Amino acid sequence: MDGNDSANRETTRLISAPLAAAVLMAAMLVGSGARTRVDVQANPSRLQWSLFRRVDSMPGSSEDARIAAEMSFPRPLKMENVGGEYRLPSFTITVAPEPSRTMVRRSVVLSEYLLRHEQGHYDIVVLAARALARELDVMTAASGQELSQRVQDCVDKHTDRAKALSEAYDRETDRSRDPKAQVRWTSRITAALSDPQTSNLAGLPL
């Protein structure tokens, strides 16, 4: 991508669905004791230019392209009470482009190189979602209210980390204009995706 409005861009690149009072139902289920499983699915796993809305300009931005990746959760989620401890049920976090905010300028050549750069931003969100899922997978609390707050704090933490990584990615690749740096970051991201337990990327936490 191109442009110097990093703050404006990064506030729109990652959209994380709030997961607390509005999502976690007050009604509790008594669980069987089976281990919670929180999975992550990227839909799609690979970006295509057809997912990007063509625009003449991006107000307040000089970027060539922008991927806005959204983490979404099934609603509602019913907390489980297992032996006096509250936890989340098994569910899947879905990462997908947010159509209205995923765009590319009409004047831009739709190159594979630029698409790979946007894929890097998307994959960073997938990696952050995986780190979030690992924490939610084992999270318990003494009350439903405490669990709701802990979950929301966890979502906020990993959202902020994804934003910081996305900013570092743009900064170090000069928004894709530095081919050598782009290759390094692409290699790092690919290696991180191949390890389901990855907890950091380029020295920054996920």
Q: Please choose, from the candidates 157, 65, 54, the residue with its C-alpha nearest in 3D space to the C-alpha of residue 117.
A: 65
| Of 166 and 78, more confident | 166
Residue 107: CB atoms within 10 A of its CB come to 10
| Contact by Cβ (8 Å): 170, 119 | no
Q: Please choose, from the candidates 62, 188, 184, 178, the residue with its C-alpha nearest in 3D space to the C-alpha of residue 123.
A: 188
What distance in Å separates the CA atoms of residue 43 and residue 203, rounded to the nearest whole number? 27
| Of 32 and 127, more confident | 127
pLDDT at 5 over 90: no
pLDDT at 48 over 90: yes
Enumerate the domain spans of the chain. 6-197
Name the percent of the chain lying above pLDDT 70: 83
What distance in Å separates the CA atoms of residue 59 and residue 39, rounded to the nearest whole number? 36
The model's pTM? 0.86
